[in-house]
Amino acid sequence: MSNRTVSRVLCAPLATVALFLMCAVGSPPACAQVDNDASDRPVRLVLPYPPGGSTDAVARLITQYLAIDWKQPVIVDNRPGASGMIGTEIAARAPADGYTALFAITQNIQNPLLYPKVPYDLGKDFVPVARILTAPSGLAVSAELPVRNVQQLVALIRSQPGHHSYGSTGVASTAHIYGALFDKTALLDAVHSPYKGAGPMLSDLLGRRITYTVMDVGSLMPHVAAGKLRILAVSGTQHLPALQGVPTFAEAGMPGFEALAWMGIALPAGTPPAIQKKWSASLQKYLTSDAFASAMAGMALTPGYLGPDEFSAQVRRDTGIWRNIIRTADVRAE
């Protein structure tokens, strides 16, 4: 295949790429029955979580861009349930034709460390396409709660044993793991309250029906900007420009929260290389653009594009890191 031919393939709609591949391997009937409306077939980005929160917002930004770039419909397909395993399995079992991709997050590698049986293997069932960004977590409380730093929150919870809980976006989520790690590190007795997604959990946090959460900063920022939530510390090793004066957990006297969550895109294993390259080329163009960086800055998220090889290496490396964090936090799937 010449470089010129490859270039034409990468610039074509997914339907054209798929047709080209069928013709290349010798399928005359498929080549003869060209569907002129094939480019109208929607491409779906499976998001294993409900609408709301930063993952949904980022997924929709990406699908809007791809729809324009490819001149065909690209949609977010929310498939929540079972700590993200339902949607992930749907994506894993989808035809490897480029019309289905997985919006992957850190929980995809955390689940096998928490559950005895997981219906997918991220390394075998998918091929990585791009890491989108890294997402720090923030320790957040209602702005009406009379605490302004980590030490005051710890003192409050200790002074009222049995009266406090922390919320998460679901069992085995990063918010669950980091919430439990905070509880254990600070020697507290807060109860874990899992929710089905960010929306209902944040509603209860705002209403002070739960005391705190440790979740992705992007989902917290709209409420912080509105003066309804206060972030007391952030994970990672760097300060966030959007949160001037907010320390890292380590600076607040609580090391162990250095790992960042991430978001990425993966395709079902067996997706033809030409289609993988098409996805990769379009995503790299957008994820390294000023427009994407500007959108992420408003959500306190850090653009962090990695190509397929680098993203795959991070998945392997982070598996060991989160294994240690989960052991320290003593988190178990309920």
- CA-CA distance, 122 to 154, in Å (whole number)? 37
Q: 137-234 adopts what CATH topology?
A: D-Maltodextrin-Binding Protein; domain 2 (3.40.190)
- CA-CA distance, 62 to 75, in Å (whole number)? 9
Q: Do domains 3-135+261-329 and 137-234 have the same CATH topology?
A: yes
**Residue 197 tokens, joined:** 């997604």
- CA-CA distance, 308 to 151, in Å (whole number)? 41
Over residues 193-229, the pLDDT tens digits come to 999 888 899 999 999 999 999 999 988 999 999 999 9
Over residues 120-151, the pLDDT tens digits come to 999 999 999 999 999 899 999 999 999 999 99
Q: Are 184 and 329 within 8 A, CB to CB?
A: yes
**For the CA atoms of the chain, what is the radius of gyration?**
21
Helix (H, G, I), strand (E, B), or coil: what is residue 126?
A: strand
CATH superfamily of 3-135+261-329: Bordetella uptake gene, domain 1 (3.40.190.150)
Where in the chain are the domains? Answer: 3-135+261-329, 137-234
Q: Over range 300-312, report the average pLDDT.
A: 93
Over residues 158-169, the pLDDT tens digits come to 999 999 999 998
